[in-house]
Structure 1
């Protein structure tokens, strides 16, 4: 499977850290970021999985549940704002 390159943006301080790490590890910035992201995701896999499952549990196929998930608003708050028609 061919992989496409997708640019990411980081602030200047982070870019400097990446540059220094790449230099001293004799690696490319791309490789440093790749390894760092993979390690981060591996270290937070349980949190990510829990959040994904929680999100799926809240979705019942309705517009209201999708808006709740996106906005973080409760059902009561949405109802106060006018709610959704069935």
Structure 2
């Protein structure tokens, strides 16, 4: 795993920011450390669901533009045709 730092701002509610701030203060770590650890734990705890979602998405893709648009939009091939379809 790379240790390079990339800055990607995320927005959380004021309530969540307060929780992060309190946790960081009482654990004597940075807010960044709290968020990074929380995300790692969340992904570890939901890994099976994430992998299942990826597998489902891959099975829906057949390499066509229509399948990609269908997956991203949530519209079936028939619904795409009803709204004008896609160029061949």
Give TM-score scaled by structure 1 length. 0.89
* Cα separation, 1, equivalents of 2:34 and 2:54: 27
Displacement of 1:23 after TM fit?
0.8
Gaps (5+ residues) in structure 2? none
* Cα separation, 1, equivalents of 2:56 and 2:82: 24
Residues 1:23 and 1:72: Cα distance change in structure 2 (over 3 Å): same
Displacement of 1:5 after TM fit?
2.6
Over aligned residue pairs, what C-alpha RMSD do you find? 1.3
Aligned residue pairs total: 86
Give TM-score scaled by structure 2 length. 0.88
TM-superposition CA deviations, 1:11-69 (whole Å, max 9, x none): 21111110011111111100000010000000000010011111111111111101111
**Superposed, which structure 2 residues align to 1:19-34 within 5 Å?**
19-34=21-36
